[in-house]
């Protein structure tokens, strides 16, 4: 497993994506990383770390990448604001709302999205085509 910590600022999004692209197996969709993982990282920064002082220890996110022959898991963790349970569950979104689509986008790109019970981490998993489940 590879792990990297990033400042909880939007300037870190590209750094996190570059780390993910370099660590992911070749079969993982770059589009999935660029779109699905971006949504998770941005949500962790904007919602999960909001209110933290820039130099505070909790003003960071961690990205962990674990790859096997058949799956690649990207876990984003933060320590400040838990994602509300009703946002974690699949839900219908009003098409006229101006927010609330980030997790739906992430769900569309990952084969599986899994929340840690405390709402302070989410894992997106890509499964290799043809892998047995």
The predicted-structure confidence for 57-82, as pLDDT tens digits, reads as follows: 668 899 999 999 999 999 999 988 77
Q: How far apart (Å, rounded) are the C-alpha atoms in residues 67 and 84?
A: 28
- Collapse the DSSP code of 117 into the 3-class scheme (helix H, G, I; strand E, B; otherwise coil) and give the result: coil
Residue 122's pLDDT band (boundaries 50, 70, 90)?
A: very high
pTM to 2 decimal places: 0.85
Kindly list the structural domains of the chain, giving each domain's residue range(s) and its CATH number in brackets, ordered by start: 2-127 (3.30.565.10)
């Amino acid at each position: 497993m590879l792990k990297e910590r990033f400042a909880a600022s939007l300037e870190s999004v590209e750094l996190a994506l570059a780390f993910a692209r370099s660590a992911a197996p070749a079969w993982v969709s770059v589009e999935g990383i660029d779109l699905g993982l971006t949504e998770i990282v941005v949500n962790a920064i904007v919602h999960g770390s909001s209110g933290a002082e820039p130099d505070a220890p909790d003003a960071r996110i961690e990205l962990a990448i674990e790859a096997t022959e058949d799956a690649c898991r990207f876990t984003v963790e933060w320590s400040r604001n838990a994602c509300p349970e009703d946002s974690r569950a699949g839900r219908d979104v009003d098409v006229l709302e101006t927010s609330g689509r980030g997790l739906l986008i992430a769900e569309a790109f990952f084969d599986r999205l899994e929340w840690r019970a405390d709402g302070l981490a989410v894992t997106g998993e890509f499964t290799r085509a043809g892998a047995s489940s």
